[in-house]
Structures are given as C-alpha cells and as structure tokens.
C-alpha cells in the first residue's frame, strides 16, 4: 500500500491535478475489468458445474437404460430360443398329423364301406332313415372342402348309431312282401339278431331270413311269444323271459 501511494504521489506530481479522469482510467478501469473477469469466470464455472451435473445425470440415466435394455435383450434372446424350439416341436406335430391324415383316409373309407354293407345287406329295418344317413355321409366324404376331422366325426357318429341298434329293441308297422303280396304287419327288431313279424289280426307270424333275404312264415305256435315280445317292446306289459327262435332258423 505504501508503495502504491508513493507511486500515486509520484504520478500525481507528473500529471495535472485538473485531470482526475486519467487516474480513473489508469487504476479503476483495470480493477473493474479484473472484477468483471472474475465474476464471468465464476458464472462460467457455475454454468459448467450445472452442465457437468446434467451430463452426470444423463450418463446415469443412459447407464440405467442400457442395463434395462441388456436385460430385455437377454429376455428376448431366451424368448427367441424358446419360440424356435416350439416351432420345431409344432413342425414335428404337423408332420405327425400329416402322417395320421394319410393313414386316416383309408380307415374312414373302409369304415364307410362297412356301413354301406350293413345297411344294404343286413337286416332290412329303418331302411329309409339309414339309407338317407348313408347318402348324406357319402356326399360329405366326397366333399374336398370338408375337413378330415369333420369326416371322422360323422363316420364315428354313424358307426355309433349302427352299433347302438344292436342293444335296442323296437317295433315298427310296415308293409312287407308275403307270398308275393304286400301285407301290413308289426315288425319286431331284436337288436341286430333278427326281425319278426306278426299280422295285425295276429293270425300269422314269421321272421326275416337273411340268407334268402325274404320274409318266411313261422308255425302259429310262435305267435303267442312274438305277441308277448311285441307288447314288452311297446311297454304294454312287464319285461319277462320269452322264447323266440333266433339265429339260424329252420321252419318245421
């Protein structure tokens, strides 16, 4: 400070007291400039610290996001591996289904031919109903737009119906040919074993001969038992044992 005052005193002796602006310009201005520079430096430092903080936060955010993306990548990689394995498994299943389809078609055709034979060559009961069912099934089997699963379902339904006929008994009134003449009779079906008839006036009875495919008359001694079986099938009397000629019949 003493040096500065000495310098100022010496300087004041060299300049005119009437020129104070020179002192301000030589001393105060550099001081102010120094202060301004320091303030700017502090402001710049504060801005840089703020930028640095934002960059640090952004870096932390990016690191977190990168960690999450890495986890998702690993999950997706595992998912892709599992999906590929399932695709291979499904392809193997499809190949198995194609093989089943190739094997199933002949089976369905064989089953249909068996059903046709049963309807055409078996006992002649419910002929219209059964023939109509087979005609519908034939159209379905020949339709390329019908899926194999639907064909299988329909064939199984028809097989089930035909099989169920073997466990049921029913009575139908219909006209049959006797001695070359149509006669209205009551026809008794015993499962798939045999068919028996009795005339409406109960004066005649008989059976269906599968070998000759004709209706044959039975001795009148069978009439009472056939009448009892008809009444039981129609639930007109309690079920009881009754003797009927079944199997390979011979007329005495």
At 215, is the pLDDT very low, low, confident or very high (cuts 50, 70, 90)?
very high
**Please, which pLDDT band fits residue 184 given cuts at 50, 70 and 90?**
very high
C-alpha R_g of the chain: 55
Predicted model pTM? 0.57
Cα torsion at 7, 11, 12, 16 (round to 10°)?
-170
CA distances from 95 to 89, 92, 99, 152 (A): 10, 5, 6, 19
What pLDDT sits at residue 19? Answer: 54
What does the mean pLDDT of the chain come to? Answer: 83
CA dihedral 40, 45, 46, 47 (to 10 degrees): 90
**Is the CB of residue 193 less than 8 Å from the CB of residue 187?**
no
pLDDT at position 4 over 70 = no
What's the pLDDT tens digit per position in 9-49? 444 444 444 455 665 566 777 777 777 788 888 888 888 88
Reading across the β-sheet that carries 181-190, which strands appear in turn? 169-178, 181-190, 194-199, 205-209, 214-217
- Long-range CB contacts for residues 173-180, cutoff 8 Å, separation at least 24: 176/215, 177/214, 177/215, 178/204, 178/206, 178/215, 178/217
| pLDDT over 80 at 91, yes or no | no
Nearest-angstrom CA–CA distance, 161 and 137 = 13
pLDDT (mean) for 63-86? 86
Q: 115, exposed or middle or buried, with CB in 10 Å at 0-12, 13-18, 19+?
A: buried
Evaluate whether 226 touches 205 at the Cβ level (below 8 Å). Answer: yes
State how far the Cα of 252 lies from the Cα of 249, in Å rounded to an integer.
Answer: 10
Domain ranges of the chain: 102-164, 169-233
User: Across-strand partners of 174?
Assistant: 185
Alpha-carbon distance of 111 to 250, in angstroms, equals 33
pLDDT at 68: 87
């Amino acid at each position: 400070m003493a040096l500065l005052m000495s310098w100022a005193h010496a300087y004041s002796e060299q300049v005119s007291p009437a020129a104070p602006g020179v002192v301000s310009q030589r001393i105060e201005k550099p001081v102010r400039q120094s202060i301004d520079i320091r303030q700017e430096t502090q402001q710049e430092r504060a801005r840089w610290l703020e930028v640095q903080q934002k960059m640090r936060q952004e870096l932390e955010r990016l690191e977190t996001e990168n960690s999450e993306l890495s986890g998702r990548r690993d999950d997706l990689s595992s998912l892709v591996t599992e999906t590929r394995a399932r695709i291979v498994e499904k392809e193997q299943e499809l190949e198995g289904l194609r093989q089943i389809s190739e094997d199933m078609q002949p089976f369905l055709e064989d089953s249909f031919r068996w059903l046709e034979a049963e309807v055409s060559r078996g006992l002649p009961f419910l002929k219209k109903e059964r023939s109509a069912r087979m005609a519908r099934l034939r159209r379905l089997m020949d339709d390329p737009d019908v899926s194999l699963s639907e064909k299988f379902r329909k064939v199984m339904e028809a097989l089930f119906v035909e099989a169920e006929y073997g466990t049921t008994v029913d009575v139908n009134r219909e006209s049959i040919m006797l001695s070359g003449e149509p006669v209205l009779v009551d026809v008794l079906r015993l499962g798939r074993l045999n068919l028996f008839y009795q005339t409406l006036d109960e004066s005649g009875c008989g059976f269906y001969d599968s070998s000759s495919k004709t209706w044959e008359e039975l001795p009148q001694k069978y009439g009472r038992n056939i009448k009892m079986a008809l009444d039981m099938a129609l639930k007109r009397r309690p079920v009881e044992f009754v003797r009927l000629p079944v199997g390979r019949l011979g007329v005495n």
